[in-house]
Amino acid sequence: MRISRSWLLAAAVLSGACASAQRSGLQAEVFEGRFATVLDLADREPKRVTDVDRVGIPEGVPHDFFGLILHGALRVEKAGMHTFHLASDDGSRLYVGKKLVINNDYAHSRQEMSVSVELGLGWQPILVAFFEGVGDARLDLQWAGPGFARQPIAPESLRQREKVVEWPRGRRAVSWLFQGKPGEPLAAIFASQRAFSPGELRFRAVSADRPGEPVPGTIACLSEADQRQDAPLAACTFPISAGTKAFRLDFPKLPGEFLRVDALGPDVLTPDDLRSNALLQIVVDARDAPELLPVGRQMVTTLGKNYGSMAKLLAGPKSNPPRVVRLTFRPGIKVPAFATGYGITLSREWFTKHPRDVGVVVHEVAHLLQRYPTGKPSWLIEGIADYVRHQAHLNDGWRVPAKPRPNWKYTQGYGVTTGFLLYVERHHAKTIVPTMNQALRAKAYRPELWKELTGKTVDELWQEYLKTAK
C-alpha cells in the first residue's frame, strides 16, 4: 500500500499535538506588576509561560510584585470526597473544573484554607491563581482522598490541558472626581501605559456637588498617529481603535466646583493602568459580590458630594491625599469595613443585610485623608472620622447618639466621641475638630490642648457633657 507524504506529515502533526496535550505537570503563566487580587491577572498579559511539575512558585520569578496562573488537569483515581488545603502568602484561588472551591485571595500573611469536594473518576481540570505583593512569598497545595492521607499532589497526577475557567468581568465601576471653577471650562485627560482594548467607551458626566442634569461635553480620542476625533459626550458611546493610549473629555462650562465622570462601558478600561488629571479616581470592585455593585455606585455618589469638604477639613499642606481609592467587596470580613493603604475593604455579608449603610465609606475615606503619623489616640481619630460622616448629613440610618449615657466614656471613640466633639464645638470651641486634626497631623497632640482651647480639662468637659443626659 502506498502512503502519501502529506498523510505522514498530517499524522506526525496530530501525534505531536496529542503528545503536547498529554504532557505531565502544569502550565504556568507568570505575570509582573502590582495586584490587589488574583482577578487582576485577567487585565494583564503574562511575561512568560513555562512548564512546572507541581503547584508552587517556580524559579526565576521576581521577589515581589508578581502573579501566577497554574492550570492543567488532576487525575482522580477513585471517585469520592477529596479535601484540598491551599496555603499562600499573599492571595490565591483554587478552581476545580469551572468552580471556585477555595477563595484565599487578597493581601495577607501565610494563611491556609481547606475544603472538601466530591470528585468523579478521571482527569479533572484544575487551576491555581496566585499573586505576591511584598515580603515573604508562599504557595502550597495539598490534598487527601479515598485511600490516601494528606500529601502534596504528585507530578504524575498532573497533566497539561487548556484553561476552562472564565474570570468574572463586568463587575467593576470606575469614576473620577475633577475639580475646577464654576462657569469655566475643564479638560479631563486620560492616558494608559498600554493601548486600550478595541471597543466602545461610554461615559456620564454629572455635577458632583450640584446633582442634576448631565453636564454636556465632547470626547476626543488620540490614536498612535495623534489623530483627533471629536464626538458629543451626550451620545454616550465612542468607538476606540487599536493602538489608542489617550483620550480627553472637554467641558465648556462647569455648573459647580466638582465634576464626576462615570465610565459606563465594558472593561476596555483597565483601572490600575489608567492615569488622569482627576482629583480622585474611585474604583468599585464587586467581582466577589456582583449583587452589591449598585451599593458601590451609591458610595461613589456619596463620595463625590462630600470629598471636597472632607479634604478641606482633614488634609494638611504637607499631606499626601489619595489619588485613587479602591472599594472592594469581599466575603468573610468580620467588620463592616476597614481601610488599608489607599483601599477600603467592604464586607459582603454586612452590606447585603445593610445596603443603605453607604456612610461607612465616608468614615473610611476620612481615615485615608487623616493618615496621622502616630495613629494615637485612636479614640479621637475614630471620633473625628465619625464627625466627618455626621457632617455629610446622609439619610442612611446612622446617627450620632442624641445624648450620652452615664456609663459611657469619651475614650470609646466613634459616635460616642463624635457626640462629645459636637458638644464642645457648640459650647466651648468652634474650632475644636480642625485644631485637633492639625495637632494629630503635626504629632503635637497633648491632653493639655483641651484646657488651652476651652479652659477646662477633657475630663471636666466630659463630666459637663454627661449632665446633658438628665
Which residues contact residue 133 at a Cβ distance below 8 angstroms, ignoring those fewer than 6 apart?
34, 35, 64, 65, 90, 107
pLDDT > 90 in the chain, percent: 67
Alpha helices by DSSP H, 315-444: 348-353, 360-370, 378-391, 414-427, 432-441
**What residues contact 8, with CB distance under 8 A and at least 6 apart?**
none
Q: Give the angle 337-338-342 at the CA atoms, nearest 5°.
A: 125
Closest CA to 158 of 41, 35, 28: 28
Whether the pLDDT of residue 336 is over 90: the answer is yes
pTM, to two decimals: 0.84
pLDDT at 5 over 50: no
The reported pLDDT for the residue numbered 229 is 52
Count of residues in the chain: 470
pLDDT digits (tens, 9 = 90+) for 130-156: 999 999 999 999 999 999 999 999 999
Tell me the average pLDDT of the chain.
87
Q: How far apart are CA 59 and CA 342, in angstroms?
A: 31
Domains assigned to the chain: 20-159 (2.60.120.1560), 168-278 (2.60.120.510), 372-469 (no CATH)
E strand or H helix at 443: none
- Give the model's pLDDT for residue 233: 56
Q: 3 pLDDT exceeds 50?
A: no
pLDDT band, very low/low/confident/very high, at 422 (cuts 50, 70, 90)? very high
Taking phi over 0 as left and psi of -120 to 50 as alpha, with beta for the rest, 229 belongs to beta
